[in-house]
Amino acid sequence: ERAREILRGAADRGDTRLGVEAMGLLDAYGVPIPEGDVVSSPEEAIEVAESIEGDVVMKIVSPDVLHKSDIGGVRVGVRNDDVYDTYEDLVARAKNYQPDATILGVQVQELLDLEAGIETIAGMNRDPQFGPLVLFGLGGIFVEVLEDTTVRVAPVSEPEAAGMVDDIRAAPLLRGARGRRPVDEERVVEVIQRLSQLVTDFPAILELDVNPLVATPDGATAVDIRLTID
Which parts of this chain interact with ligand ADP (CB under 6 A)? 34, 57, 59, 67-69, 74, 76, 109-112, 114, 140, 211-212, 223-224
Comparing every residue's Cβ against Mg ion, the nearest one is 224
First to last CA, the chain: 19
Contact 216, 32 (CB under 8 A): no
Please report, as a single letter, which amino acid is at residue 215. Answer: A
Helical ranges in 68-175 per DSSP H: 83-97, 143-146, 158-167, 171-174
Nearest residue (CB) to ligand ADP, 101 versus 154:
101
Nearest residue (CB) to ligand ADP, 141 versus 153:
141
Q: Contact with Mg ion (CB under 5 A): which of 62, 224, 227, 229?
A: 224
> Bridge partners of 27?
none
Binding partner of residue 86 among ligand ADP, Mg ion, none, CB under 5 to 8 Å per kind? none
Nearest residue (CB) to ligand ADP, 54 versus 131:
54
- Residue 119 as a binder of Mg ion (CB under 5 A): the answer is no
Cis peptide before 212 (omega within 30 of 0): yes
Which segment (155-163, 169-177, 196-204, 211-219) binds Mg ion by CB under 5 A? Answer: 211-219
Least CB distance from residue 164 to ligand ADP, whole Å? 21
- CA 129 centroid distance within chain: 27
Least CB distance from residue 226 to ligand ADP, whole Å? 7
Least CB distance from residue 1 to ligand ADP, whole Å? 26
Please give the full DSSP string across 179-215, using - where no structure is assigned. GPPPP-HHHHHHHHHHHHHHHHH-TTEEEEEEEEEEE
Helix/strand/coil percentages in the chain, nearest 5: 40, 30, 30
The residue among 157, 103, 111 whose CA lies nearest residue 134 is: 157
As a whole number of angstroms, the distance between CA 92 and CA 99 comes to 9
Which segment (50-58, 175-183, 193-201, 204-212) binds Mg ion by CB under 5 A? Answer: 204-212
Least CB distance from residue 61 to Mg ion, whole Å? 13
Q: Contact with Mg ion (CB under 5 A): which of 62, 107, 196, 211?
A: 211
Nearest residue (CB) to ligand ADP, 12 versus 53:
53
Specify the 3-state DSSP secondary structure of 109: strand
Least CB distance from residue 184 to Mg ion, whole Å? 21
Residues that bind Mg ion (CB under 5 A): 211, 224
